[in-house]
Amino acid sequence: MVAYRDMWGKGPDSYLQTMYERAVLMKELLAPDGFLFVHLAPTVSHNYRALLDSLFGPQNFRNEIIINRPISKNLQRQFDFIAALPQGHDVILCYSASTSTRIPNLLVPYETAHREGYWHRFWSGADRPTMRYDLLGEIPTHGQWKWSKDRAEKAVRNYRAYLREAPHKLLVEYWAETGKTLEFIRKSESGTVENWFSPRNDKVGDTIWDDVKAYENIKDFPTQKHRELLKRIVNWVTAENALVADFFCGSGTTGVVAEQLNRRWVMADLGRFAIHTARKRLIDLQRKLYSEGKPYRSFDVYNLGRYERQWWQQERLQGADEEHRRIVLEFFRAEILSQAPSPLIHGRKAGAFCHVDSIDSIFTRDEVRAVARAVAQAGGKEVYCLAWEFEMDLRQRCLALEAELGVKIKLIPIPREIMEKNRTSPPPFLEMAVLEAEPVYKKSGKKRTVDIKLTKFLPSLAEVPSKELEALKERAMKSGIDFVDFWAIDFDWQPGKPFNHHWQDYRTRKNRSLKTISDAHHEYSKAGTYTVCVKVVDTFGCDTSITVEVEV
């Protein structure tokens, strides 16, 4: 429910506008010989096709492909009349970047659900052993020849005689002159040497894909694309090492399929939980390839999450931090102070002061010290610090400041829901997650190794639906580690450098256990003080990081 709430609750017009804006960007990124595939329900595909026609030009529309959408087997007849038949298919729209681009033939398995009357070099209809014979060194293994042995051999003799008389002519001319339809015979590209089709178990596909399903039958991700569907598309229109992009990646199936087929890939999604799930699936693939002795590649995860706030700031707030603070304090149900004792104090709630950080910045340890001092000088004993992002390890810094200045500091992430245009009721404002960890040293002779132990975790629950909040709060207080879905360690973290996953552990759908002490047995090359970064992703897709000092 949290991961897949409706992002376009304002109706189809809002959805189509949003999708059109993204299609404009995708067209700019598309290679000159590339293709765009858009998977849609038939309820909206006709509208989106009109938009794509206006963007790509109708001349670049290639196909509308129909794919099988699984229907529950539990459907029972309850009424004599219904509003509509159950939706048994989805639509894939295919567009090319250029009219000059040619799409290769799609070869699909011949053994499909609907094969009535289809002949293809050999036939796999009723079993006829006498039709499986050696013809030109080929014996069908997945079917049988269409013609009897005598008839086929006679056709071969006739064709060879024709070639001797007219070696310059093509097979199509032979068909035109003799009326013979030799499905299993063709001439080579040079037109002079005869060549023979081998029996095969595939055929040229069309726009009805009833042999693959649109979605995997997975409860956790009901919209997860079927791997066989994506394998078909990727194999069809790309070569090895080509670049495949999916900007609505969901659970990451496109990246997994591309990696298995030796294609490069880029994936993106708005949902934190989607990115987290995709990351786990790709690590699973790495581990599988490693266990099989096969090569595997690393990948990077980037957070480009500020653009939503930047758009909100530009479109709704005209860039003003004052307007931003007013909206945040109103949703927080705090009093706005027009005559504040300090420029760093913006409001008051239940006897505590409030500070609202700038819309496009990270709340740092220097800022929290300045705010705490301003509150102490104003005679306050408690302050709410509301911000979109917080510097790492800020919670530990706040503990030291509380002891030093006697001011209780509460760090409150601003919920993204306040940016919703028609939002009137306040979303929950909850304290940021608390994460604590410590090093574990082991010594064996001269060798000293380091691991990390998770000692405390309290999730923020900012993404939890309101009706479930109280029950989950109680559980989080009792056993916060239960909410850790994934954690990773960078044993030599450097400020400003990417986080490197030297070790990680995570829960899966089948195995919910989780190590709370790493088993990396990390060994440093020389003595000294090192900074270890610990990253935790909770069951809602939110990540929290801290650093731990290690001395060896």
CATH value at residue 103: 3.40.50.150
Output the domain CATH number for residue 490: 2.60.40
Q: What is the DSSP letter of 428?
A: P
The predicted pLDDT at position 195 comes to 41
The predicted pLDDT at position 495 comes to 86
Q: Angle CA(55)–CA(61)–CA(63) in degrees, nearest 5?
A: 140
Say which residue the tokens 């006709």 belong to: 46
Nearest Cα to Cα of residue 332 among 350, 316, 317 = 350
Helix 171-178, helix 149-165: angle, nearest 10 = 110
Beta bridge partners of residue 123, listed in sequence order: 144
Residues 234 and 104 in one domain: yes
Beta bridge partners of residue 40, listed in sequence order: 91
Residues 535 and 443 in one domain: yes
Q: Is 219 exposed, middle or buried (0-12, 13-18, 19+ CB in 10 A)?
A: exposed
Residues 6+ apart with CB under 8 A from 444: none
The predicted pLDDT at position 77 comes to 59
The predicted pLDDT at position 416 comes to 81
Nearest Cα to Cα of residue 163 among 196, 187, 142 = 187
Beta bridge partners of residue 64, listed in sequence order: 93
User: Residue 299: inside a domain, yes or no?
Assistant: no
Tokens of 142: 């997945």
User: Residue 307: inside a domain, yes or no?
Assistant: no
Domain count, the chain: 4
Computed on alpha carbons and rounded to an integer, the radius of gyration of the chain in Å comes to 32
User: Residue 315: inside a domain, yes or no?
Assistant: no
- Domain with 524 in it: 434-551
Q: How far apart are CA 355 and CA 339, in angstroms?
A: 14
CB 542 within 8 A of CB 433: yes
CB 545 within 8 A of CB 392: yes
Residues 222 and 82 in one domain: yes
Residues 64 and 127 in one domain: no
The predicted pLDDT at position 119 comes to 33
Residues 36 and 102 in one domain: yes
SS3 call for 1: coil
Say which residue the tokens 């026609």 belong to: 53
User: Residue 97: inside a domain, yes or no?
Assistant: yes
Residues 393 and 277 in one domain: no
Residues 34 and 179 in one domain: no
User: Residue 286: inside a domain, yes or no?
Assistant: yes
Residues 213 and 196 in one domain: no
Q: Taking phi first (over 0 means left), then psi (-120 to 50 degrees means alpha), and beta for anything else, what does residue 262 get?
A: left
Chain centroid, CA 384 distance in Å: 35
Nearest Cα to Cα of residue 55 among 78, 90, 86, 28 = 28
Residues 465 and 405 in one domain: no
User: Residue 305: inside a domain, yes or no?
Assistant: no
The predicted pLDDT at position 319 comes to 61
Beta bridge partners of residue 384, listed in sequence order: 354, 410
Secondary structure (DSSP) of 200-251: -SEEE--SEEEEEESB---SS-TTPBPHHHHHHHHHHH--TT-EEEESS-TT
Output the domain CATH number for residue 375: 3.40.1350
Residues 190 and 221 in one domain: no
Per-residue pLDDT of the chain (552 residues; tens, 9 = 90+): 444 444 555 567 778 888 898 999 999 999 999 999 999 888 889 999 999 999 999 999 999 999 988 776 665 556 667 778 888 899 999 999 999 988 888 888 765 433 332 233 444 456 677 877 887 666 766 566 767 888 778 777 776 776 677 665 555 455 555 555 444 444 334 443 344 444 455 677 899 998 888 877 655 555 677 899 999 999 999 999 999 999 999 889 999 999 999 999 999 988 888 888 899 999 999 999 999 999 889 999 988 766 677 778 877 777 677 889 999 999 999 999 989 999 999 999 999 999 999 887 889 999 999 999 999 999 999 999 999 989 988 988 898 999 999 999 999 999 888 887 778 888 888 888 999 999 999 988 778 899 999 999 998 877 676 677 778 888 888 889 999 999 999 999 998 888 999 999 999 888 899 999 999 999 999 999 999 999 999 988 888 999 999 998
Q: Taking phi first (over 0 means left), then psi (-120 to 50 degrees means alpha), and beta for anything else, what does residue 113 get?
A: alpha
User: Residue 230: inside a domain, yes or no?
Assistant: yes
CB 447 within 8 A of CB 552: no
Tokens of 342: 């300090």
User: Residue 4: inside a domain, yes or no?
Assistant: no
Residues 103 and 114 in one domain: no
Write down which residue in 386, 419, 452 finishes a domain.
419
Residues 351 and 407 in one domain: yes
How many Cβ atoms from other residues are within 10 Å of residue 174's Cβ? 19
Tokens of 399: 């503990």
Write down which residue in 140, 169, 204 finishes a domain.
204
SS3 call for 109: strand
The predicted pLDDT at position 70 comes to 77
